[in-house]
Amino acid sequence: PPTELLAMPVIATRVLTLSTTTGDRPVRIELSAPESDAKGWRCNFTIGWPNRTQKGFGAGVDGIQALSIAMMNIAAQLYTSSYHRDGKLRWDKPGSGYGFPIAKPLRHLLVGEDLTFDG
């Protein structure tokens, strides 16, 4: 399971749903606690896609910035995925968005309730 891939404790999870030809599949996102390292702060995450577990992180000068950037990196991975492009990925209901902040260059990809956030 993705939890084993994170060095720090998991502090938040979200489960999205992927519609496939064989039925709905969960896509589990796990976010670890920020941790300091030699370069500053780092916040790891995993996305449990059906065919692989994707690891990533956000880095910053403090834990808050690392956490914020990790969440934007999660959004970037979700919104640029083929599953999103094909309209097969959902959180609450189809087309409602995924509830993660996104960097300005990718805001044109937002859908549903994610469009209401401008932070």
Per-residue pLDDT of 44-89, as tens digits, reads 999 999 999 999 999 999 999 999 999 999 999 999 999 999 999 9
At residue 114, the 3 state secondary structure works out as helix
Average pLDDT in the 9-31 region?
96
- Give just the sign of the alpha carbon dihedral 98, 116, 66, 109: positive
Burial bucket for residue 91 (CB in 10 Å: 0-12, 13-18, 19+):
buried
Report the amino acid identity of residue 67: L
pLDDT given at position 6: 53
Average pLDDT in the 29-48 region?
95
Please check the confidence at residue 109 and state whether its pLDDT lies above 70: yes
- Give just the sign of the alpha carbon dihedral 80, 113, 104, 53: negative
Rounded Cα–Cα distance for residues 62 and 36 (Å)? 8
pLDDT given at position 118: 55
Place of tokens 């999870």: 13
pLDDT given at position 1: 41
Average pLDDT in the 3-25 region?
85
Please check the confidence at residue 5 and state whether its pLDDT lies above 80: no
**Single pTM value for the model:** 0.85
Rounded Cα–Cα distance for residues 79 and 87 (Å)? 10
